[in-house]
Each structure stands twice: as C-alpha cells, then as structure tokens.
Amino acid sequence: MSVVGQQFETELSELRNRINARLADYMEILEDCPSPLRESMAYSLLAGGKRLRPILVLLACEACGGSIEAALPAACAIEMIHTYSLIHDDLPAMDNDDYRRGRLTNHKVFGDGLAILAGDALLTLAFEVIARDTQPGSVAAACCIDLASASGWCGMVGGQVADLQAEQRLEKQNSSEQSIQKEFAAETAQNLYTLEAIHRRKTGRLLCSAVTLGARVAQADADSINRLQEYGKRVGLAFQIADDLLDVTGDAAKLGKKVGKDASLGKMTYPGLLGIEASRQKADHLIHEACDLLEPFGKRADSLIALAKFVTKRDH
Amino acid sequence: MSVVGQQFETELSELRNRINARLADYMEILEDCPSPLRESMAYSLLAGGKRLRPILVLLACEACGGSIEAALPAACAIEMIHTYSLIHDDLPAMDNDDYRRGRLTNHKVFGDGLAILAGDALLTLAFEVIARDTQPGSVAAACCIDLASASGWCGMVGGQVADLQAEQRLEKQNSSEQSIQKEFAAETAQNLYTLEAIHRRKTGRLLCSAVTLGARVAQADADSINRLQEYGKRVGLAFQIADDLLDVTGDAAKLGKKVGKDASLGKMTYPGLLGIEASRQKADHLIHEACDLLEPFGKRADSLIALAKFVTKRDH
C-alpha cells in the first residue's frame, strides 16, 4: 500500500474510534432506560462496522471548514438510523436473517418484540441527539429535515418497500417459462432502471444526506452543499455496485452464465444485470465524476476523495 | 348536557376536523411513495380516533397566546407518533391484536413487514413535519427534542418495554401458590408504583409533551411551560385511570372480588389495584389539581380545563 493509502487508513481508523467512543457515550447516558432495551440497542449500535455514513458526515464538515467535534452528534445520529434499519430489515417479517457481521441478529438474541422496540428507540434517539446536540437550533432543524427525508417514506423506508415489491415482481418473471430473448432485453433495461431507483432510495439517499449533514453543521453555502450531494449520490451508487461485486467474487465464473438475471435470491444486482466488467467500469466512472465535483474545495476535500476511491477498491 | 358542554363538544369536533384535514394533506403529498406504503400509513393515520394528543397541542398553544394554525404541524406530528406506536404494538411479536377501533389492525391488512415499515415511516415523518413546518428553526429543534424524549427510550418505547417486563413478573406472581396476605399487600403497593411508572412513560410522557409542544410553538415562558407540563402529567394519569375504569364497567361486580390482582390478561389496572371507587376519586383529584394549575392563564385556558373534565367524565 502507498504511504498516502496508509495515512488515510490511519485517519479512517482514528475517525472510527471517535465515532465509536461517542456512540458508546450515547448508550452510557441511557440511565433510566429499562435494561433489556438498552442492551438490545447497544448490542447492534456498538457492533462495529465500517461507519461509512458517520465518517462521511465528519469529512464533509471538515471539507466545508467545520470541526469534527461539531459534526459528531449528526454523525452518531445517522449511524443510529442505519442501525435501526438493519435491526428491522433482519426481522422474520422482512429479510429473516439470523446473522449479521458474524453475530446473531438482534431479534435472535432479544426476541422479535424487543428488536422492533430497540429499532424504534434508536430511530427516535437519532432525532433527539441531532436536535439537542447540534448548534444552533436552526441548523439542528435543517439537519432533522435532511435526515428524516433521507430515511423515511421517500428515502430508505420507501426504498425497502420498493425492494420488496421488485423481488416479488422478479420472482414472477423467473417463474414464467414463456420469456423470449426480446422480452428479456427489455426486462433488463427495466430492471436496471428499477435497481437504480431502489438503491438511490434505499442506500443512496442516506449516504447523500451524510455529506449534507456535515455541510450543514459547517454552515456551508448552497453551491458547496449541492456539490457534496452530487458527490454523495455517485459514491453511494458506486458503493452499492462494489458491494454487489464483492458478493459475487467468490463464484465469478458461475455468474458469467447468469448475466441478465441473478435469480439465486430473487434479488437484482449490478453484476447480475450488467456483467462484472461493465459494473466495474460504471463504479470507476462514478467515482471519477464524484472526485471532479470536489475540485473547488481544494485540499480540504482530500480525505473525501481518498474515501471515494477507498470504498470501491477494497474488500472491507 | 349543559350549554357549555355542548359548546365544548362543538369546539372539539371543529378541532378534530382541522387535524384530520391536515393529516389527510400530509398523506396526499406523499406522491413519490410506493403505493402500498402510502396506503398502509394512511390506513392507520386516517382511521379516526379521539385525536386527544393533537387537540392538547392546539389548545395549549392557544392558552399561551399562539395560533391554532401555527401549532397544526406539531399536532399532526404527535398523532403520527401515536399512530406508529399503535401499529407496532398490535404486531404479533408484541400484543398480537387483530382489531383496533373496530377495524382490522394494520398488519392484518398489509402484512407484518409492511406494517413495521409503515410504522417506521410515520415515526420518521413526524420529525420531518415538525422540523420543516414549525417556525422558527430554533423552536422546531426544541419541539423535536421534546417529542423524541417523550416517545423514545425514556418515554413511550421505554414504557412499552417496562410494561412487557411487568406482565412477565405479574404472570410469575399469579402462577405462584405460596403468596400469603402480607406479601400480597406489599405486592399491591409495589404494583401500584410500577403501574404509575409505566403509565407515566407509556402514555403520560407523550400527553405531557403535547402541551409542551403547543406552548413552545407559542414561544411561552418557562413558568407557563412548567404549569402546562404539570397539568399534562395529571390529565395523562387521570385519562389512563378513566380508560381502565371503562374497561371494567361491563363487569364491575366481578371486579370487586378481584381487587388487588387483575389477572385476566396478566395486566395491572387501577381498579384492579385500588378498587373502582378509589380509582374514581384519584382521577377526580388529579383533574382538580390540573385545573388549579392553569389559573394564571385566565380565560385562555378555559378549553384546556373543559378538556380535563371531559376526558374522565364520558365514555368516548
């Protein structure tokens, strides 16, 4: 790894430590909280992970001339939102997953009822933290609006519903024996459109709101916010493509035959629709555009540029 | 009914109409929302009901010299929070109820997965609405803090967990054959303490935050906010006692024998612990205190006083 790469790894690790410490503080002060609820919330919130969203908040704030310290509440809030969504998505009524990051999922440890409530409490705490600990109040309110619209009906939750719908539609397509090549091509274009729309909502909006929150805390001007949002959209989509690619690198050869439809889990993926090479090119192109957008920020955006390259390059 | 009573009924009905119309507007503008999600959200949010919490927001704002119009976003937000909590509480993993207000519960119509997501989306929308539509931003942020702390881990969600825990404890007590009279009395005192603590969180905090929100929108002074909060606490508890009393008026005679333990559903209630007459007296006393607290507001608090009397006097 290059020296720059090593320096950036060290920076990331330091930011992650600050975020983890602050998240632990937020769990620590839930004194009067019924202990099973606190345990369930902390179990998932303090489970580690990349902390990509909060890191984006901090780096965006820095790129706009603000301080890491001022952006920490917003960074923690977005990680709380991300964590609640994982807890609820893992439930038997949704994706029904038993494991996440190598540990039992929340509901497997605490039961479905408590897992639902822990998710609700983390979602609510996110708004409490951002509204109370971000200054001044007008910035806090603007951050609440960003976070809510990125994570609610028109953002993450809406994307999750659209995802469930698309899976059902895809299952129907796959179970049909009558599809001919021409329909197949039209379906691929349609599916790619659907896939992008879902990702934009399900993961893209929240990643995009991360940089917006950082910029708001730094009280950045409209042009800076706009550039960071465009950067966020591209990095978010590239991140998703990289994630899809990682899922298939284990059996890449097999995937070649399946291009156009990844029916294994009834899920659409980029390599499944575009093929591996075209997916890689698409991700690279998005990252290139994202970095270009940050030119006016100069050296202050170096870390955001390093991060954009980082998310698509490594198995992490 | 007295003329004053009739006038107040008309006022309540007008307020309810304004709240229902604004809630419908908020559902209407979810244009880009996947239709099953919007339908599921609207199914529960527009199902009617007393609208007690939003009415308290509006009347508290009026009592502090603010306008109904300015308080409508906060009023709608608190109803969204209340509605999401009902959707999640009704789930099979929680109370497992098939009917609410005479209609099928959300998950019986839309499935468990969509019901969880509709609850999440309403919870998130509450903060979006209050942060975006309440002015100025500093007041919006203060309202977000109030609403989050009243509905999260130390409020409603915490109360729900404590409730689940107390039910499990009570089931243990009831299944034990060894309890003697002395232990029984100590248990009653302990249970009454637990019951009040649960209600304070589960319903009291949210009712209390309703009046706080109204006062904040009107930019009231600290003393007014404090008086309204003390009013809210008392009205909230009286409302719960009245609710418990309504549950048992059908078989009051039977209840007499069960005083000290209402084991039928493994739930603690006021008439179950105190008896019917003492419960009535307690509710009346709380309402009396609540009304006294509003004296400094003069005639502007007439509706809040009428409401306090109203919640304990009628079958509604």
Q: Tell if the CB–CB gap between A128 and B138 is shorter than 8 Å.
A: no
Q: B144 and A127 in contact (C-beta within 8 Å)?
A: yes
Structural domain that includes position A243: 3-313
Q: B254 and B173 in contact (C-beta within 8 Å)?
A: no
Q: Which residue, among B26, B96, B116, would best test binding to A if mutated, counting the most A CBs under 10 Å from its CB?
A: B116
Q: Which whole-number Å values give the CA distances from B86 to A37, A197, B106, in the listed order?
A: 19, 31, 9
pLDDT tens-place string over residues A195-222 = 888 888 878 899 999 999 999 999 999 9
Give the best-scoring range by mean pLDDT among A275-284, B217-226, B268-277.
B217-226
Q: Which residue, among A84, A160, A161, would best test binding to B if mutated, counting the most B CBs under 10 Å from its CB?
A: A161
pLDDT tens-place string over residues B116-165 = 999 999 999 999 999 999 999 999 999 999 999 999 998 999 999 988 88
Residue A16 confidence (pLDDT)? 97
Residue B185 confidence (pLDDT)? 62
pLDDT tens-place string over residues B201-229 = 878 899 999 999 999 999 999 999 999 99
Query: Could you give the count of Cα atoms lying within 13 Å of B132 in the half-sphere of its Cβ?
Result: 14
What average pLDDT score do residues B66-95 get? 97
Q: Which residue has the higher pLDDT, A85 or B259?
A: A85
Instruction: Estimate the crossing angle of helix A205-217 against helix A222-248, to 10 degrees.
Output: 140
pLDDT tens-place string over residues B278-313 = 999 999 999 999 999 999 999 999 999 999 998 877
Q: Tell if the CB–CB gap between A153 and B121 is shorter than 8 Å.
A: yes
User: Which residues of chain A lie closer than 8 angstroms to B130, CB-CB?
Assistant: 144
Residue B259 confidence (pLDDT)? 39
**Complex ipTM value:** 0.90
Q: What rounded mean pLDDT belongs to chain A? A: 88
> What CA–CA distance (Å, rounded) separates A303 from A63?
8
CATH number assigned to the domain comprising residue B54: 1.10.600.10
Comparing CB atoms, the residue among A117, A124, A136 nearest residue B161 is A117
Give the helix ranges, DSSP H, for chain B: 3-28, 35-45, 52-63, 68-90, 106-110, 112-133, 137-151, 156-175, 181-199, 205-217, 222-248, 252-258, 270-274, 276-293, 302-313
Per DSSP, the three-state class of A103 is strand
Q: Tell if the CB–CB gap between A141 and B145 is shorter than 8 Å.
A: no
What average pLDDT score do residues B52-62 get? 97
Residue B136 confidence (pLDDT)? 97
Name the residue of chain B whose CA is nearest to A31's CA: B154
- Residue A100's beta-bridge partner residues? A103
This prediction's pTM: 0.91
Structural domain count, chain B: 1
Comparing CB atoms, the residue among B113, B123, B137 nearest residue A120 is B123
Q: With 70 as the cut, is the pLDDT of residue A315 above it?
A: no
pLDDT tens-place string over residues A23-61 = 999 999 988 899 999 999 999 999 988 999 999 999 999
Q: With 50 as the cut, is the pLDDT of residue A253 above it?
A: no
**Which of A210, A205, A202 lies closest to A233 in space, CA to CA?**
A205
Tokens of A54: 């909060």
Per-residue pLDDT band for B169 (boundaries 50, 70, 90) equals confident
Residue B202 confidence (pLDDT)? 79
Per-residue pLDDT band for A255 (boundaries 50, 70, 90) equals very low
Q: Which residue has the higher pLDDT, A272 or A288?
A: A288
pLDDT tens-place string over residues A60-103 = 999 999 999 999 999 999 999 999 999 999 999 999 999 998 89
Name the residue of chain A whose CA is nearest to B152's CA: A121
* Strands A99-100 vs B103-104: parallel, antiparallel or unpaired: unpaired
Q: Tell if the CB–CB gap between A34 and B162 is shorter than 8 Å.
A: yes
Per-residue pLDDT band for B258 (boundaries 50, 70, 90) equals very low
Per-residue pLDDT band for A290 (boundaries 50, 70, 90) equals very high
> What CA–CA distance (Å, rounded) separates A52 from A164?
25
**How far does the CA of residue B204 sit from the closest CA of chain A (Å)?**
16
Per-residue pLDDT band for B176 (boundaries 50, 70, 90) equals low
